[in-house]
Amino acid sequence: MPTCNIGILVSGRGSNMLAIIRAIERKRIKGARVAVVISDKREAKALDSAMRHGVDAVWLDPAEAASRLDYDMRLLDVLKDKGVTPKDGLVLLAGFMRLLSPEFVEAFGGRILNIHPSLLPSFPGLRAQEQALEREVKVSGCTVHFVVPEVDSGPIVLQRAVKVEEGDTPETLSARILRQEHLIYPIAVRLFVEGRLKIEGRKVLIRGK
């Protein structure tokens, strides 16, 4: 099986990124390597963590780009340069807080995954955990999905439910959801790398389950 080169896009802490790097280090995901981590924020903690694990880390400054499309084409160049190609690479969004242009998403069609801290289609966009608390739901959770041009709406790969407890704050709920994110994102990546995910319209078929 050829190695799948993975590019991870981040903006901050990078705990999901670390969960994936560790899953590869511990051979829970085989046949893949993280070729590069790219952040739009210079101060992102994820950049240091990636380097500590021997992964190339790149800060790509949005201020240097003429437009969203220009930024995304620069992203594409860095990814390709590191061997993450639209043909056989994989792009993971892990707390990447920029919207991607349709051109970028189409270039990598079906090869971009995102993790979101709610049970989509509930609570897309920002502050998903706060939205869940404001709506007084009893259960929330997290979702790994393929990325399409529309925000947080691509075909769903995996979800985990998390009970909302009486007295939860955005912080306590986020922390419990995050623990589940760290479990399901590496599983989804493993399934992708093993070629077991097939998109059929809105549905993701998981082979061999």
Report, as residue numbers or ranges, the catalytic residues: 116
Tell me if 127 sits within 8 A of 117, measured CB to CB: no
Assess 148 for contact with ligand GAR (CB under 6 A). no
Assess 180 for contact with ligand GAR (CB under 6 A). no
Residue among 86, 106, 78, 66 at smallest CA distance from 9: 78
* Of positions 36, 37, 94, 132, contacts ligand GAR by CB under 6 A: 94
**Between 102 and 131, how does the x/- string for binding to ligand GAR read (CB under 6 A)?**
-------------xxx----------x---
Assess 181 for contact with ligand GAR (CB under 6 A). yes
Which are the contacts of 141, defined by CB distance < 8 A and separation ≥ 6? 118, 119, 159, 160, 161, 162, 177, 180
In the complex, minimum distance from the CB of residue 118 to ligand GAR, in angstroms, rounded to a whole number: 8
Binding-site residue total for ligand GAR (CB under 6 A)?
Answer: 14
Neighbours of 67 (CB within 10 A): 9
Nearer to ligand GAR, 85 or 122 (CB): 122
DSSP run (H or E) holding 92? strand 90-93
Residue with tokens 């051979």: 27
User: Under DSSP, is residue 140 helix (H, G, I), strand (E, B) or coil?
Assistant: strand
Binding site for ligand GAR (CB under 6 A): 10, 12-16, 94-95, 115-117, 128, 178, 181
